[in-house]
Amino acid sequence: MSGTETYQFSCPECGQSLTVDDSMRFALVDNGCVVCGAPLRGTEFAACS
Amino acid sequence: MALDQQTEMTQSEIDDVLSRHETGVLSLARSDDPYAIPISYGYDSEHRRFYMRLVSTPESEKREFLSSSPDCRLVVYEETEPVYQSVVAIGTLEQISTDELTADHIEQYGKAKRPLFEIWAEGKEELDVQLFKLDPESMSGRRIEIES
Ligand SMILES: [Zn+2]
C-alpha cells in the first residue's frame, strides 16, 4: 500500500515534535496541538522524504 | 433545608453531565498521602473514557504522584438549584506516550480545554505536559434534590 505520507509536526508553542500520518495531520489541524492545545494553521508540518 | 431525595443516576445521565462539563477534581493517592488537583478533561462518551493533560514542573509534587500509574478518583459536580449532581469515576491513570498517539487521541484531546492557567503561571520551558487516559473501573452518579 502506498499513499500514506508521513510528516514531521513541530508545535510553534510548546515545541513538541511528532511524526504523523495524513489522518493525524488532519486531526491536529482541526483540534490543535495534542500536547498544549495551541491552534494550528496547517503550516507546522514538513513532509518526510 | 431538608434532603428530599437522593437517587442514583443512570449511565446516560452520567454521560450527559460529563459531556456538559470539562473540569473536575482529580484525587491521587500514594501510600498514605492524598493529593487533589483541579483538571480539565475531554470525555469520550462512546467508550466512557477521560483524556487529560496534566502539567507539572520538574520538582513538583504532582510529578511525583504521576510517576507511577496511580489509582485515582475523578469527581465532577454540578449544582443547578434545587438539584445537585455529582459523578465519581474510579480507576487507574494511564500515561499515553507521544509515540503511541493516534488521530482518535488527537480528537479526544481536542475536547479538553487548554491548560492555560497553568501554562501562564510559569515559564513554559519549565513545564512538562503529560497526556493521560482514565478508563474507569467504576463510575457512579448521585442526584440530590433539595427541598427549600
Ligand atoms: Zn503544542
Assembly ipTM = 0.90
Minimal Cα distance from B132: which residue of A?
A: A35
By the 10 Å C-beta count (0-12 exposed, 13-18 middle, 19+ buried), A47 is classed as: exposed
Select from A26, A35, A38 the Cβ nearest to the Cβ of B131: A35
Residue A42, chain B, CB below 8 Å: the answer is: no
B124 contacts on A by Cβ (under 8 Å): 13-14
Minimal Cα distance from B106: which residue of A?
A: A34
A24 contacts on B by Cβ (under 8 Å): 101-103, 106
Q: What percent of chain B has pLDDT over 90?
A: 53
By the 10 Å C-beta count (0-12 exposed, 13-18 middle, 19+ buried), B95 is classed as: middle
More confident: A2 or B64: B64
Split at pLDDT 50, 70, 90, the class of A1 is very low
Reply yes or no on whether the pLDDT at A16 is more than 70: yes
How confident is the model over B101-142, as pLDDT tens digits? 999 999 999 988 776 545 555 555 567 788 999 999 999 999
Which CATH number goes with the domain that contains B33? 2.30.110.10
By the 10 Å C-beta count (0-12 exposed, 13-18 middle, 19+ buried), B16 is classed as: middle
Chain A / chain B CB contacts < 8 angstroms: 50
How confident is the model over B71-83, as pLDDT tens digits? 899 999 999 888 9
Ligand 1: distance of its center to the CA of B10 in Å?
37
CB A46, CB A8: distance < 8 Å: yes
Range of the domain at B80: 3-147
Residue labelled with grid coordinates 469515576: B89
Dihedral pair phi/psi, residue B99, rounded to 5°: -70, -25
Ligand 1: distance of its center to the CA of A46 in Å?
16
Specify the number of domains making up chain B: 1
